[in-house]
Amino acid sequence: ELIIIRFLHGLSYGISSTATSTIASSAVPKSKRGEGIGYFMLSTTLATAIGPFLGTILSLSGNYTYIFILCSVTAVISFIAAFFLNIQELNLTHEEKQSMRGIKFSNFFEVKSLTISVICGLFYFCYSTVFSFINAYAKSLNLIKESSFFFLVIAIVIFLSRPVTGKRFDKKGENSIMYPGFLIFSAGMIFLSSVNNGFMLLAAGAAIGLGVGIIQSGGQTVAVNLAPNHRIGMANSTFFSFLDFGVGAGPFILGYFIPYTGYRGIYLIMGISAVFFIFIYHYFHGKNASTNSVETDSI
pLDDT tens string 98-154: 666 666 666 778 899 999 999 999 999 999 999 899 989 999 999 988 888 898 898
Distances (CA, A) of 240 to 52, 203, 217, 249, 298: 20, 28, 11, 14, 25
Distances (CA, A) of 269 to 96, 190, 201, 207, 273: 45, 8, 17, 17, 6
pLDDT for the residue 54: 78
pLDDT for the residue 49: 64
pLDDT for the residue 296: 41
pLDDT for the residue 286: 92
pLDDT for the residue 161: 86
The C-alpha atoms of residue 2 and residue 8 are separated, in whole angstroms, by 10
Handedness of CA 106, 107, 113, 118 (dihedral sign): negative
Task: Enumerate residue ranges in the chain where pLDDT < 70.
Answer: 45-46, 48-49, 61-62, 88-106, 290-299
Distances (CA, A) of 66 to 4, 78, 145, 148, 276: 22, 18, 20, 18, 43
pLDDT for the residue 295: 43
Is the distance from CB of 220 to CB of 294 less than 8 angstroms? no
Is the distance from CB of 182 to CB of 281 less than 8 angstroms? yes
The C-alpha atoms of residue 18 and residue 59 are separated, in whole angstroms, by 30
